[in-house]
A and B are shown apart, each in its own frame.
Chain A
Amino acid sequence: MAVGITGYGVYVPRYRIKAEEIAKVWGADPEKIKHGLNITEKSVPGPDEDAATIAVEAARNAVSHAGINARDIGVIYVGSESHPYAVKPTATIVAEAIEATPNLTAADYEFACKAGTAGLQACMGVVGFGMMNYGMAIGTDTSQGAPGDALEYTAAAGGASFIIGNNGSEAIATIEGTCSFTTDTPDFWRREMRPYPRHGGRFTGKPAYFKHVLSATHALLRKLKLTPQDFAYAVFHQPNGKFPVQAAKELGFSKTQVAQGLLTPKIGNTYSAASMLGLASVLDIAKPNERILVVSYGSGAGSDAFSILTHDAIEKKRKNTVPISKYINQKEYVDYSTYAKYRGLLVK
Chain B
Amino acid sequence: MSVARFWREIPSRYNLIGSKCGNCNKIMFPPRFICPYCRRTGKLEPYNLRKKGKIVSYTVVHAAANGFEEQAPYTLAIVELDDGPSVTTQITDCNHSEINIGDTVELVFRRMGQDGEDGVIYYGYKGRLLK
- A associates with B: yes
| Chain A residues within 8 Å of B, Cβ to Cβ | 14, 46-50, 52-53, 56-57, 60, 84-85, 93, 96-97, 99, 330, 332, 341-342
Q: Closest CB-CB distance, B17 to chain A, in whole Å?
A: 9
- Name A48's contact: one of B10, B14, B48, B71 (CB within 8 Å): B71
**Chain B contacts for A97, CB-based, 8 A:** 14-15, 109, 123
Contact A84 B121 (CB under 8 A): yes
Q: Which residues of B does A touch, CB under 8 Å?
A: 10, 14-15, 48, 70-71, 90, 92-93, 95, 108-112, 121, 123, 126, 131
Q: Are A47 and B71 in contact (CB under 8 A)?
A: yes
Q: Are A96 and B111 in touch, CB under 8 angstroms? A: no
Evaluate contact between B111 and A50: CB separation under 8 angstroms: yes
In the complex, the answer to whether A341 meets B110 with C-beta atoms within 8 Å is no
Contacts between the two chains (Cβ within 8 Å), count: 45
Q: List 28 A-B contacts (CB under 8 A).
A: A46-B93, A46-B110, A47-B71, A48-B90, A48-B110, A48-B111, A48-B126, A49-B110, A49-B111, A52-B123, A53-B108, A53-B109, A53-B110, A53-B111, A56-B109, A57-B108, A57-B109, A60-B109, A85-B121, A96-B10, A96-B14, A96-B15, A97-B14, A97-B15, A99-B48, A330-B131, A332-B93, A332-B95
Q: Are A342 and B131 in contact (CB under 8 A)?
A: no
Known A14-B93, A342-B70: A48·B112 in contact at CB below 8 Å? yes
Q: How far is the CA of A330 from the CA of B130 in the complex (A)?
A: 11
* Closest Cβ–Cβ distance, residue A20 to chain B (whole Å): 22
Chain A residue nearest to B17 (CB atoms) is A99
Residues of chain A within 8 A (CB-CB) of B131 are 330
Chain B residues contacting A48 (CB-CB under 8 Å) are 71, 90, 92, 110-112, 126
Distance (whole angstroms) from the CB of A243 to the closest CB of chain B: 31
Cβ–Cβ < 8 Å partners of A53 in chain B: 108-111, 123
CB closest residue in chain A, given B71: A47
- B10: chain A residues at CB < 8 Å are 96
User: Please, which residues of chain A bring their CB within 8 A of the CB of B15?
Assistant: 96-97, 99
List the A side residues contacting B108 at CB < 8 Å: 53, 57
Could you tell me the distance between the alpha carbons of A97 and B108 in the complex, rounded to whole angstroms?
10
Shortest CB distance B128–A (Å): 9
Residues of A close to B48: CB separation below 8 A: 99
Chain A residue nearest in CB terms to B14: A97
* A309: min CB distance to chain B, Å: 33
| Distance, CA A342 to CA B71, complexed state (A) | 8
A53→B90 CA distance, assembly (Å) = 15
For A47, list chain B residues within 8 Å (CB): 70-71
* Set of chain A residues within 8 Å of B123, measured between Cβ atoms: 52-53, 93, 97
Given A85-B121, A96-B10, A330-B131, check contact A46 B109 (CB 8 Å): no
- CB neighbours (8 Å) of A96 from chain B are 10, 14-15
